[in-house]
Amino acid sequence: MTEQRKVNLYFLYMLCFYLIISFFILPLLPDKIIQNENILIIISQCMIIVPSVIYIIFTKGKSIKNINTKLFNPLVILLLFAFTISITPVISYISSITMLFSENYVAAQLTDTVKNPLWYSLLLMALLPAMVEEVAFRGLIYNGYKKSGDIKGAIIYGSLLFGLFHMNINQCCYAFFMAIMFTFLYEATDSLYATIIVHFMFNGMSTVIQYISFSSDKLKNTETTYVNYSLAQKMQVIVSGFRFAVYGFAMSILIIIVIAKLCGNSEKINSLMKLLFNRNKNKKKINDYVLKIAIVLSVLVMFIK
């Protein structure tokens, strides 16, 4: 069995596990559990953890040995924070567009979790997802695809699966962009620690901002305000946000290049950026029938939800 087939089966199993829990197990649980957002967040992460552990056992630990976890210059941590700030307007811009036709489920989750102490919400909403999702998608899936030799396919399909597994259109779109940027960051540092840190920072900032919003009369219910905007008002927000999104994207690319230079990976990052826009087809296709089934199933679930 090829490496890409193993990864595709892993994602399909993870997807099936998600569907079984979501549609057959959760409805049987008491209302106190279903209505508890904290428990649901933990369950959602277990939907990734359990299949991932099984996959690691199935590959006899070889899949996790491929994950790079090099330590880097402390200066890189400051640049990772700057990178997080830079991509935030891009992600917000993508989200504002998709919210024209899709609900923002993250805002609803954050609204419920503000009832917790801040440290507990940061643990649930920022640290836990950052560690679990980065190990699964950048660690196991991307690295598994990369072993096939189709690096461009590994970046694109690895990022697509990350977006699709969020199971809603709003998150899928900006998570796809995030995953591509995180993959370049992973390659720039040769370390999964970098993407875990940025993932934690991004989710953590969203959580802290939500706490500030609910403690301030002026900022309270900002997400709901955008939802209730007229179409003309939303379009005005989108048009005015375009410039900041472009600046943020350009800055984030520049920061990746600087980080790559500090970590001695400048040539590799330049090659990857060129490769991403290269039209040459790789004979070792990642997109087999297993992956096609998983993608179609994921899209169907998004529309059903």
- The identity of residue 167, as a single letter, is M
pLDDT class for 223, splitting at 50, 70, 90?
A: very low
Q: Residue 109's domain spans which residues?
A: 3-304
pTM greater than the 0.75 cutoff: yes
CB 83 within 8 A of CB 150: no
Residues 6+ apart with CB under 8 A from 63: 55, 56, 140, 143, 144
Q: Which residues contact 204 (CB under 8 A, 6 or more apart)?
A: 122, 125, 126, 127
Kindly report the average pLDDT of the chain as a whole number: 89
**Number of domains into which the chain is organized:** 1
User: What are 93-143's pLDDT values in tens digits?
Assistant: 999 999 888 777 766 666 666 778 888 999 999 999 999 999 999 999 999
> Looking at the predicted structure, is the pLDDT value of residue 281 above 70?
no
Q: Quick one: 281 exposed, middle or buried, by C-beta within 10 A (0-12, 13-18, 19+)?
A: exposed
